Amino acid sequence: MTKDGMPATSVDTRYFDQLFQANADPWAFRQRWYEQRKRAMTLAALPRPHYRAIYEPGCANGELSAELATRCDRLVCSDAASAAVSLAQARLQGFVHAEVHQSRLPGDWPEDCFDLIVLSELGYYLNRADWLHLIADARQSLAPDGQLLACHWRPPIENCPQSAEQVHELLDEHLHLPRLLQYRDADFMLDLWGRDSRSVATLEGLR
């Protein structure tokens, strides 16, 4: 345990395997209005209508992935749980430009370049050292005009080594990128960082 009483190690893959063995939608991504609203706000937070290449690690059963697939030329998704990978592959079957891989982060980060990385409900499952490793990999794989979006549930999660606040603080400290957007409510927090700090209106010549 750490000094603040949180577990010292990242959550084991077996935890996610057990979740998906019991339920194909363990967080009720499809049924809950909370999840539908959060997805809509996540997508609305993206400053560009279209991206060349998006990476979404921790894609679970692919509900957000299917929305992201409509906004890019190439989508790469990954998850540690084999059942989640199969579910996401089925969910994305109609998108020929989407691929799903089984990988355990931070060690299996892809050697590709992305102009958008989406870290949704992922960071608090990793301890500080693993999360810093992931942040370094993410920053290195961002394109010259790349952006990174993070969205996390704020209430405490049992047996998770970090809180949402810790996850986003480390991102802001170690990405070394301007923060383009920040949203907070009682349930979740959403932040967007990017290499280009110009606003949407500025990019469209309105300012």
Phi, psi of 52 (to 5 degrees): -75, -50
Burial of 4 (0-12, 13-18, 19+ CB in 10 A): exposed
185-199 confidence digits (pLDDT tens): 999 999 999 999 999
* pTM of the entire predicted model: 0.95
Better pLDDT: 10 or 22: 10
Q: 4 in a domain, yes or no?
A: no
Query: What does pLDDT average to over the chain?
Result: 95
Q: What is the pLDDT of residue 89?
A: 98
pLDDT of residue 51: 98
Looking at the DSSP bridge assignments, the partners of residue 102 are: 79
pLDDT given at position 4: 60
How does residue 87 score in pLDDT terms, banded at 50, 70 and 90? very high
- Structural domain of residue 26, as residue ranges? 13-203
Centroid of chain to Cα 86:
19
- Across the range 166-170, mean pLDDT stands at 98
**Please, which pLDDT band fits residue 200 given cuts at 50, 70 and 90?**
very high
> 106-117 pLDDT, tens per residue?
999 999 999 999
Here the CATH number for the domain that contains residue 33 is 3.40.50.150
Q: Is residue 5 part of a domain?
A: no
pLDDT above 70 for 176: yes
Is residue 116 domain-resident?
yes
Give exposure, 87-101, as e/b (b: 16+ Cβ within 10 Å).
bbbebbeebeebebe
What count of Cα atoms within 13 Å lies in the side-chain half-sphere of residue 193? 23
- Whether 62 maps to a domain, the answer reads yes
- Distance CA(111)–CA(174), nearest Å, equals 20
- Higher pLDDT among residues 7 and 54, named by residue: 54
pLDDT of residue 8: 81
Question: Could you give the number of structural domains in the chain?
Answer: 1
Would 155 be classed as within a structural domain? yes
- Kind of pairing between the strands at 188-194 and 179-184: antiparallel
Asked whether residue 2 carries a pLDDT value surpassing 80, the answer given is no
Looking at residues 105-131, what average pLDDT do you find? 96
pLDDT tens string 20-77:
998 999 999 999 999 999 999 999 999 999 999 999 999 999 999 999 999 999 999 9
Of the two residues 6 and 86, the one the predictor is more confident about is 86
pLDDT value of position 207: 85
Would residue 6 count as lying in a domain?
Answer: no
Q: Does 129 reside within a domain? A: yes
| DSSP SS3 for 207 | coil
